[in-house]
Chain A
Amino acid sequence: MSMSRADVTAALESALSEVLDRKVTGLTGETRLFDDLHLDSTTMLETLMHLEDSLGLEVDPEELEADDFETVDTFTDFALAQLAGERAA
């Protein structure tokens, strides 16, 4: 079963709620992870670690780029590409 954008957004909301210890809902594609949600470099990595568990994703630390973590949209593109890559591999 393939993952949709909505699935990734839901997983992201749940990961952010855990990491930031407050309910995070209503993310849109344009929501900026650092500026709007006030993530910092520590909480961003923790969010990613949560998502690895919930999405069954394993990121390659050498392929992570700052641009991927700019907005909900760029992150979703990144997560979907990673998931597609894992299935192909």
Chain B
Amino acid sequence: MTAPRLLHSLLDEAAEATPGRTALETATDSVTYGALATASRNAAHLLRTAGVRRGDRVVISSPDAITVTVAVHAASRAGAMFSVLHEQVRERPLEHVLTDCEPAVLVTDDPGVSATATAHGVRVLGSREVREAPGPREGAGPSLPAPLAVDAVCLIYTSGTTSLPKAVVCTHQQMLFAVHAIQDRLAYRADDVVYSPLPLSFDYGLYQVFLTFLAGARLRAGSVAETGPPLLRSLETSGATVLASVPSVSDRLAWLVRRARNRPRLRLLTNTGAALADTTIATLREAMPTLSVQLMYGLTECKRATIMPPDGDLRRPGSSGTALPGTEVFTIGDDGARLGPGEIGQFVVRGPHVMAGYWRRPELTAERFHLREGLFPELRTGDYGRLDEDGYLYFSGRRDDLYKERGFRVSATEVEAAARRVEGVASAAVLPPGPENGGTAVLAVVGDLAPSEVLDRMRGLIEEYKIPRRCVPVPELPVNTNGKTDRRALTALIHDAAHS
């Protein structure tokens, strides 16, 4: 019997096939598949020496994508679970993570992060130590353990309806299935340069590593500085053919590309995180006629639920595609019974990509990772919408995006989409009724139109009762690190404007 495939098998297979090919590059550095495989193997021995045992946690906080990638694969080889944190996770939020997962080691060069870790009794390793770990001496030290495919390898902290972030636990085989299923739809090629402006702490950013390695392609990790105004130039100089995007990045690219003389050679843009504005997609298509766009829907708990065929949005506007191969998505009513096509309900996902559950949160796990008949896992996403006759998913909102106004159930996502269709509205967000806004929904818009004009023009685009009564112009919509609208910051922005 052959050894089980594990998460780091993706790297090892690529390193065996094309050891000299560049696997990963940043603005200033690059590493080949062969060198990355060796460095991560050596770093795995370093983790063992530092006391990391099978099942232990390794937390990683570094702006350097190569350090993170070495540490991730080292943890996988050492039978440990890795968790990549955003560099802005520090102080209290970092203490929460350290208390929650009790890591054996934290990899960082940041003095503040390092001090917090030390105060919690966590051993700190620097990026140089990890990247340049010497190989183990012949016959010396303990050998690496042999993890099982059902062992956990990754914790991804997400915020949700709970007040503190919780970690989604992912096993080797769950992640491998997700990577293969996504690649089946996106079809990255060996000659692709995949440009990722997303931090590796963001799960779609992290998966770019595994998707790229499975394809034997090259990943270019873009920094925050490179993906602002210089984004277009950064895409050009890196020779990017694929852009792993979120709406805020795509909006920036659309603004830049309208002015450019030369167009980037992108062949594929994927979108996740939230709905992409129709106007943004149209601008990108016009500027880059050979570009394909693939819209997607998913959540960390199963990584990815649906993907559109390339340019499928032209035929089925508003859809996020069909379930990944070997998985299914359906809707259920409030009683848990399965609904039919066209009926709005909660999305439920089944398949080998449904992750293990939440770290040390048995009640929340039982609720979200429901066991039908007490046996069969199904992920109750908390997201709502419908599927059409052909299984195409139409997202209408998070449960917490749904609100009642004037007796009607309204989806904030749907209202925002309607507002964005008004010419002159660049972006829009809805604040559901609450004590902060006098019990009525508020529509915040970025654009040149007068607020009353925006509301007027929404008539016809959406049912009358769904149109908020109040509309407030804002200079910009505050976004969180995942590129989603930060509703709390937006509430503060509107509230402050009204009282200053």
Within 8 A of A (CB), among B227-275: 227-234, 236, 248-249, 252, 255-257, 259-262
Sampled A-B contacts (27; CB under 8 Å): A18-B475, A21-B493, A41-B225, A41-B227, A41-B228, A42-B476, A45-B228, A45-B229, A45-B252, A45-B255, A46-B476, A48-B229, A61-B232, A61-B233, A61-B256, A61-B257, A61-B260, A62-B232, A62-B260, A62-B261, A63-B233, A64-B232, A64-B233, A65-B230, A66-B230, A66-B234, A69-B229
Q: Which residues of B contact A40 (CB under 8 A)?
A: 224, 228
Bound-state Cα–Cα, A71 to B225, Å: 11
Bound: A54/B248 CA distance, A? 24
Q: Give the residues from 22 to 75 in chain A that come closer than 8 angstroms, CB to CB, to chain B.
A: 34, 39-46, 48-49, 59-66, 68-70
Chain A residues lying within 8 Å of B17, measured Cβ to Cβ, are none
A60 to B479, CA, bound (A): 26
A19, CB-defined interface residue at 8 Å: yes
A49 to B252, CA, bound (A): 11
Chain A residues whose C-beta falls within 8 Å of the C-beta of B262 in the assembled complex: 62
Docked complex Cα distance between A42 and B482 (Å): 12
Nearest CB of B to A75, in Å: 10
List the interface of chain A (C-beta within 8 A of B). 18-19, 21, 34, 39-46, 48-49, 59-66, 68-70
Are B479 and A42 in contact, with the CB atoms below 8 A?
yes
- Nearest A residue to B483, CB-CB: A42
Given A45-B252, A66-B234 in contact, is the A59-B228 Cβ separation under 8 Å? Answer: no
Complex Cα distance, B225 from A66, in Å, reads 6
A19-B229 in contact (CB<8A) = no
Q: When the two chains form their complex, are residues A64 and B248 in contact, meaning their CB atoms are under 8 A apart?
A: no
Q: How far is the CA of A52 from the CA of B143 in the complex (A)?
A: 60
Per CB-CB distance, the 10 closest pairs between chain A and chain B, nearest first, are A41-B228, A44-B228, A61-B256, A66-B225, A64-B230, A41-B227, A64-B229, A61-B232, A66-B226, A66-B230
- Whether A34 lies near B232 (C-beta < 8 A) is no
For residue B115, CB closer than 8 A to chain A, the reply is no
Docked-complex contact B228 and A69, CB < 8 angstroms = yes
Q: Is B476 in contact with A41, judged by CB distance below 8 angstroms?
A: no
User: A19 contacts B476, CB within 8 Å?
Assistant: yes
For A19, the chain B residues whose CB sits under 8 A away are 475-476
New A-B pairs, 17, CB < 8 Å, besides A41-B226, A42-B479: A19-B475, A21-B475, A21-B496, A34-B224, A39-B228, A41-B224, A41-B248, A43-B476, A60-B259, A62-B233, A62-B262, A63-B233, A64-B229, A64-B232, A65-B233, A66-B226, A69-B228
Chain B neighbourhood of A49, CB < 8 A: 255
Q: How far is the CB of B366 from chain A (nearest CB, A)?
A: 37
- A70: chain B residues within 8 A (beta carbon): 225
Minimum distance in angstroms from B314 CB to a CB of chain A: 26
| Residues of B contacting A69 in the complex (Cβ-Cβ under 8 angstroms) | 225, 228-230
Q: Does B27 contact A (CB under 8 A)?
A: yes
Is the CB of B321 closer than 8 A to any CB of chain A?
A: no
CA distance A39 to B229 in the complex (A): 12
Kindly report which residue of chain A lies nearest to residue B497, judged by CB atoms: A21
Most buried by A among B197, B223, B230, B234: B230
Give the distance to chain B from A84, nearest Cβ to Cβ, in Å: 19
What 0/1 readout, one digit per residue, does chain B (485-500) give for beta carbons within 8 Å of chain A?
0000000010010000
Which residues of A are found within 8 Å of B234, using beta-carbon distances? 66
A11 to chain B, nearest CB (A): 16
Which A residues touch B256, using CB under 8 A?
Answer: 61
Contacts of B249 in A (CB 8 A): 41
CA distance A64 to B225 in the complex (A): 11
Inter-chain contacts of B228 with A (CB < 8 A): 39-42, 44-45, 48, 69
Chain B residue at minimum C-beta to C-beta distance from A60: B259
A42 contacts which chain B residues (CB < 8 A)?
228, 248, 252, 476, 479
The answer to whether residues A59 and B225 also contact, given A41-B252, A42-B252 and a CB cut-off of 8 A, is no
Q: Is A66 a contact partner of B27 (Cβ separation < 8 A)?
A: yes
List, in ascending order, chain B residues with CB within 8 A of A44's CB.
Answer: 225, 228-229
B36 to chain A, nearest CB (A): 24
Whole-angstrom distance from the CB of A45 to the nearest CB of chain B? 5
Complexed CA–CA distance, A74 and B236 (Å): 22
Taken together as a complex, chains A and B put the C-alpha atoms of A63 and B230 apart, in Å, by: 8
Chain B nearest Cβ from A80, distance in angstroms: 17
Residues of chain A within 8 A (CB-CB) of B27 are 66
